[in-house]
Amino acid sequence: MPFPPINIDLLVSAGHIVPIEPAGVVLENHALAVDQGRILALLPVNEARARYAPRKTLDLPGHALMPGLINMHTHSAMSLLRGIADDLPLMDWLQGHIWPAEGANMSYQFCHDGVRLAMAEMIRGGQTCFNDMYFFPDATAAAVEAAGMRAAVGLIVIDFPSAWAQPGEYIHKGLALHDSLRGKPLLKTTFAPHAPYTVNDEALRQVRQYATELQIPINMHIHETAFEVEQAVAQTGKRPLQRLKELDLLGPDLIAVHMTQLTDEEIEEVAHYGVHVAHCPESNMKLASGFCPVHRLMHAGANVCVGTDGAASNNDLDLFGELRSASLLAKVVSGDARALPAAKALEMATLAGAKALGWDESIGSLLPGKAADFIAVDLAALNTQPVYHVISQLAYALNSRQVDYVWVAGKPLLIEGQLQTLVEDELRAKASEWRNKITNK
């Protein structure tokens, strides 16, 4: 006698499922079974319909299901500064334009509104999680929780005073926020010292101490430009990575952002210490910061993930575009067309980010028991036809606006291209208000 069907929350069938694990696998005409926010099974459509009695069924024969993308480096509130100072080198961009604009406008409300605008763009582009670094991380956490997205909230540390904190207060306020977010499954924290040139040794020692005690990652801009490295050598006689090594910062809990200036010895050290690298190719190209040696890092055994950086320096938060740029740039820099193939590029934007955050037991791939953070993308669009290789189409041909559905922990954030937890008209109005205020109109 056959068993009765099992009641579940959701059954989504699709023409293709790309689970990321195992690497390079594409499941055709399969379904994803979801209950209580977690993945129960991936199985052929006919078997799924016989086994489960879902409260909601969605049939998407022209779509591909895959894990939600993980944006491993954002300054999400800076979406309100998009385009304010383009076509400038990094230090001129920062010191002459961005820092003054932040100083004049920084507030809890600025960050809350900016994060909401950024999340709308990220969700519509298939992102379910982002790793943030900015002031007023409490505003970021509140916005993320209300929208139902997943995020690692950076506890910013910097030597400069800001509207968020004074020097000496950053770590204390960050610890208080960390404690307040305990028990919130969609939120975690990282320590986010801004960069070696903006954080003193004593603060970095405290970051190391608390990160070890609390077992949370450290997230930091490192070796972003040649000028940064040259300045450090001139002032201290040490390259930034050497200084961080002496301060015991190198380890598997460090997410090193940018890393465009690396010697062969430093590449080997990054791999040896298990440091994760967050690669932001489009921001690095736009600011002429340099090229991260992704192919050599991966060959050495380092885990490399991908991020967009902030919208003020990119100028978008399109992670599908970013992973494509990462793949193409790796080929050009290495002189090898086989460097960073399509499947690896998709892994960089999913599972590699989850590993860097210590969240890979829950997100980053579609496996039974993991959180139901997944997306559905329409492959029937003309720019992804004909479909010979699904993974190649996702990595090289897809437009992010082909993302039709997004779920986080089994809850829909995007249905048929429409946001479910954020209101576009409200976001546009807020963006206009801030533009008028920032430009004194």
Higher-confidence residue of 409 and 85: namely 409
Q: What is the mean pLDDT of the chain?
A: 96
Region 16-31: mean pLDDT is 98
**Quick one: pLDDT at residue 157?**
98
CB 229 within 8 A of CB 263: no
**Quick one: pLDDT at residue 89?**
84
Region 385-397: mean pLDDT is 98
Q: Which of 274, 267, 271, 234 is nearest to 251 (CA)?
A: 274
Region 323-334: mean pLDDT is 97
- In tens, the pLDDT along 251-307 reads 999 999 999 999 999 999 999 999 999 999 999 999 999 999 999 999 999 999 999
- In tens, the pLDDT along 141-169 reads 999 999 999 999 999 999 999 999 999 99
**Quick one: pLDDT at residue 2?**
65
C-alpha to C-alpha distance for 273 and 383, rounded to whole angstroms: 42
Entry pTM: 0.97
> What is the β-pairing status of strands 374-378 and 303-306?
unpaired
**Quick one: pLDDT at residue 194?**
97
Flag whether pLDDT at 29 surpasses 60: yes
Region 409-431: mean pLDDT is 98
- In tens, the pLDDT along 201-229 reads 999 999 999 999 999 999 999 999 999 99
C-alpha to C-alpha distance for 144 and 328, rounded to whole angstroms: 32
**Quick one: pLDDT at residue 99?**
86
The pLDDT > 90 percentage for the chain reads: 95
C-alpha to C-alpha distance for 85 and 88, rounded to whole angstroms: 7
Q: Which CATH superfamily is domain 69-356 in?
A: Metal-dependent hydrolases (3.20.20.140)
**Quick one: pLDDT at residue 441?**
62
Least reliable range by pLDDT among 3-17, 91-105, 194-208: 91-105
Flag whether pLDDT at 1 surpasses 60: no
**Quick one: pLDDT at residue 94?**
85
- In tens, the pLDDT along 396-407 reads 999 999 999 999
**Quick one: pLDDT at residue 440?**
83
Of 3.30.1490.20, 2.40.10.10, 2.30.40.10, 3.90.1300.10, the CATH number of 6-67+364-409 is: 2.30.40.10
Domain boundaries, the chain: 6-67+364-409, 69-356
Q: Do domains 6-67+364-409 and 69-356 have the same CATH topology?
A: no
312: left (phi over 0), alpha (psi -120 to 50) or beta: alpha
